[in-house]
Amino acid sequence: MTTTSARPDRTLIAILFVIAVLVIVALVVVFSRGAPERLDRGTPVGVVQAYAAAVLEGDESTAAGYLTENAVAGCESYGRDVADDDLRITLVRSVERGDSADVTVSVATSTETGPFGASGYETEEVFELVRVPDGW
């Protein structure tokens, strides 16, 4: 008959320690990410980023400042139903041609509603920019 030791297995302790370290590192990375880097507002992508930030903050007057008079006339005010945490805007591509530019972004939205749990959708939007004397 053999007797088993009451000491925990060192391999198990090492594995649990590694898992704990990985969890701590993951938490530090997630909670220290902060806001996205602000791009230069003298570039088309910087203007689209500033416009999107103003829209998300509900600052309609600042957002309208990035639009031409024709674009402002075609806009309507809509309340946002999606929390900022549930909306992700990602730069897809930017094409600059002399006095005009197209900036394509992906807008991903997720919601916690639905009969089967969370749902969401993603669309691509193209911002058509024109150069004006003081920028885009």
Judge whether residue 82 has pLDDT over 50: no
Q: What end-to-end distance do the CA atoms of the chain give, in Å?
A: 84
Please name which of 133, 114, 121, 131 lies closest in space to residue 47, comparing C-alpha atoms: 131
Contact 65, 127 (CB under 8 A): no
3-state SS class at 131: coil
Give CA–CA dist 109/122, Å, rounded: 6
- CATH fold of the domain at 11-130: Nuclear Transport Factor 2; Chain: A, (3.10.450)
Higher pLDDT: 132 or 3? It is: 132
**How large is the average pLDDT for residues 57-70?**
84
How is the chain split into domains, by residue range?
11-130
- Determine phi and psi for 84, rounding to 5 degrees: -55, -35
